[in-house]
Structures are given as C-alpha cells and as structure tokens.
Structure 1
Amino acid sequence: MSKFIAEFIGTLTLVLLGCGAAVLGGVDNVGQLGISIAFGGAIVAMAYGIGSISGCHVNPAVSLAAFIAGRMSLKDMLVYWIAQFAGALAGAALLAVIAGSTANLGQNGWGPGYLGEFSLQSALVFEIVMTALFVIVILGATSEKAPAGFAGLAIGVTLAIIHIVGIQVTGVSVNPARSFGPAVLAGGQALSQLWLFFVAPAAGAVIGAAFYRIRLLS
C-alpha cells in the first residue's frame, strides 16, 4: 500500500507541477525552458521524496522497463500502473480546478494546430527514441554500480533536457500516465491522439530495457 500511495502522489505531483507550469505559468511567462525545468524538477523532488519507498517510477513506461529488465514482478508492475494512472488523473483534475477549465491541461499531441505542427511520424519517432534513452538513463543510474545518491538528479536533468528538445514536437510525454490524465479531461483531439502516447513510450521502454535484459549494458 505504501508503494501504491507513493506512486499515486508522485505521478500526481509530476502532472500538477509539470503541466501546471505550462498551463498556469504559460509559455509567454515561464517559457519552454521554464516548463522543462518544472518537469525535471518535479522528478528530482519526488525521486528524493518517495524514491526510498517505491523507487519513484511515476511512469508506466519506466515500470514496464523495470519489469523487462528483471527488476520488478508482474504483480508490482500492475499495482504501479494503477497508482500512476490514478495519480495522473487526480493531478490533471486538480489543475483543472485551479485553472477553471479543462480546455488546456498541458495535453500532448501533434499535427496541425498543435505547437510546432510536427507530423505523426515525427511524433512517433521522437517518443520512441526519447523514452528508450530516458529508460537507459534510469536503469543505469539506479543500478548497483552507479554512484549512490545521484540517480534522482541524473533522471530529472535528463527529463528536463528531453523537454527542451521536444516540447514543440509532442509536448513531450515519454510517460503514458502523464498523457492520460490531461487527455481524459480535455477530450477531443487530445483523447483521439492518446494512443500514440501509450504505444510509443511502451515501445521505447522495451527497447531501452532490452539493452539491460540481454546484458549489452550491465
């Protein structure tokens, strides 16, 4: 139960602070860099806040990667998924209450009318590749051979950099739960495009974890 609660709170925090920076702060005020730092900073904070309890996955793709790499059981992965999706939905709901609207909750997307108007192909490739790289950093930084105490910082900085690079492409997901919460409440195009932010991060997680599973990285 403590792991469930930790993952719920962690994912809620990621959505509320990360998407909140985009919605409440706004690109015109905090800018793309500020939004990127908010997402990365939320991960750093939660990594040191709940990392000792659940490992601070706060991301179904990360839990999938941990399972594939042999670092968690199927049962634990499923429990983490439920907590993460519930937390993301709660975070998006809190953001909607604060913003007073569900029209803009920092939802992910692509194509005409969405930020840089990148294509489906660009969105798919970006999310797969960036999730794979993100997972490689996470599994490496949390391995027994990694320097103790620096995993949270490495993971948070990586997520911030991914956002700096890709906000204009998809708004950056690399996390199905982060996409799920805002999309469910915003509806419309965000909900119709949600499939990509399940499929691509899952594919990226499998690719990244495979390097550890078959011991190309160990």
Structure 2
Amino acid sequence: MSDTTNQPSTATKLVAEALGTFLLVFGSIGAALFASDFGTGANGSSLGIGFVGVSLAFGLTLLAGIYTWGPISGGHFNPAVTLGLAAAGRFKWKEAPAYIIAQIVGGALGTTLIVLIGIFHPDGWLTNAQDSGFASNGFGDASPGGFGLGAAIIAEVLFTAVFLLVILGVTHPQRGTAGFAGLAIGLTLTFIHLASIPIDNTSVNPARSIATAIYGGGEALAQLWVFLLFPLVGAVLAGFLHRALFEPRGVMPAQATARVK
C-alpha cells in the first residue's frame, strides 16, 4: 500500500498550478510587453530583448515553475499539458477540469498585474500595449509575420504535439531523466517560441492565450478559438500517440504526472 500521509491535498495542488501558470504568464508576457522593444541606447544599439529574449523568458519561467511547484502538482501550468497527460494515461481525466480552471485563473492574474503596473506609466503605455494586441496570439493581420489561419492551425497542433512528446518522454517513471526533466522541458518551450513567434506569437498553452486576449481587444478575442482548440488537439494526439508507441500494452505508469524529482 502506498503511503499517502505526505501527499499534497487537491487544494494545494490547484494553488500550485495557479502559481506556476501565474509565474509563466507574468514573467514571459511581461518580458514581451515591457522589454522586447525598449528602444535604442546612446550609441544606437537596441535595448530590447527581441524574439530571443522573449523565447528565453518563456522557457526560464516554465523551468523555474517546474522545479518550484512541480513536486506538488506535477507542474502542468497549461491545459494542453493536462489533457495530453490524461490522454497518455499519466493523469486522471476527472481531475483535469479543476487543474484547467486553476491554470486559467493563474494566467489571468498574471496579465492583470501587468495591466496594474502599466496604469502607472505616464505616457499611455497601457493604451498602446492594448491597441497593439497585448502580446495576444493571432493570424492574418494579427500575426507578427503575416501568416494566415492555416499556418496558425498547423503550428499550434504540431508544436504542442512536439512539446507533449518531450514532456512524456523525459518524465517517464522508468525511462525519464529525473532531475533534468525540467531543464529539457524549459528548453523545448524556448525553441518552440524561437521557431513560431513570427507565425502566430506562439500559444501551445490555452491559459496563456486567454490571459492575453482578455486585454488584447476585439480581434484577439475573435481569434482566440484557434488558440484554445488546436493546442488541445495537438496535445491529445501526442498523448495517444505516445501511449500507443512507447508504453507496453497493459502496463501504464500509475498516474505519473510531469513531476520533477
């Protein structure tokens, strides 16, 4: 019989999921809005962090969240990860709705605090940020590179599937990389952003997309469905694919989440 005396409660897990998603959104979207394009210095060099800096912000905040709260909740911080793990047999389907709600709340809190900071800028920073979409995901005119709906759909399905396959591989209870899992997952999210920010500003995380769209204006909200639906499609497909290809028939790890030990 397994010892459950030291297992975190459901409430504790949900708080951990909310905090991890908050950290991911607040840190990475804050970097995108405050620091990605900060003008030039006295010698004409750029002071902004650009796509590379924003990509690193996503990877580093996820890495920090995984090592901080992963041992408590499994460190999903993303509805797509939660459903992908459930599809792979690593997480209970019945627990997914509560996790997803906690993630959405944490992400929304992250962008709300960015808004509160922006209110105190004297030169209309917040208005400009919202007029430019508030780092929301988008296609067509809302795409950084002008890519259309089809490109956004393919990118979200493909990159989310790759993300889940990495997570499922490095967190496998028998074959995983244990303490290095968080590093592999964070670096994977970094390269995903490096490749796909120009396409649709990179979602692969519906909670992140909701968090920015609620402040991004009408176009961001109108296009949000793409960044809710297709990351989930990619994640679930990856979960079922991993289960079919890499798990022995009838021998599934007992509800192992994306836990870093």
TM-score tier by shorter-chain length is over 0.9
Matched, 1:7 2:36: no
Letter in 2 for 1:24: F
- The letter for the 2-side match of 1:159 is L
Q: Taking structure 1 as reference, are residues 208 and 113 closer, same or farther at Cα in structure 2, changes over 3 Å only?
A: closer
Match of 1:55 in 2: 74
Q: In structure 2, what is the Cα distance between the partners aligned to 1:46 and 1:131?
A: 19
1:51 deviation in Å? 0.7
Matches within 5 A, 1:49-198: 49-100=68-119, 101=126, 103=130, 104-144=133-173, 145-198=175-228
Sequence identity (%): 42
Which is higher, the Rg of structure 1 or of structure 2? Answer: 2
Distance 2:25 2:190 in 1: 14
Stretches of 4+ aligned residues off by more than 4 angstroms: none
1:105 CA drift (Å): 2.7
| Unmatched 5+ stretches in structure 2 | 1-10, 39-47, 120-125, 248-261
Query: Deviation per CA, 1:118-170, whole angstroms, max 9, x where unpaired?
Result: 01000110010000000000111110111220110000000000000010111
CA contact (8 A) 2:36 2:53 kept: no
Q: Which runs of 5+ in 1 are unaligned?
A: none
Question: 1:63 Cα shift?
Answer: 0.2
Distance in structure 1 (CA, Å) of the matches to 2:115 and 2:36? 15
Deviation at 1:113, TM superposition (A): 4.7
1:19 aligns with 2:29: yes
Judge conservation of contact 2:137–2:220 (CA < 8 Å) in 1. Answer: yes
Higher mean C-alpha deviation, range 85-94 or range 111-120: 111-120
- Counterpart residue type for residue 180 of structure 1: I
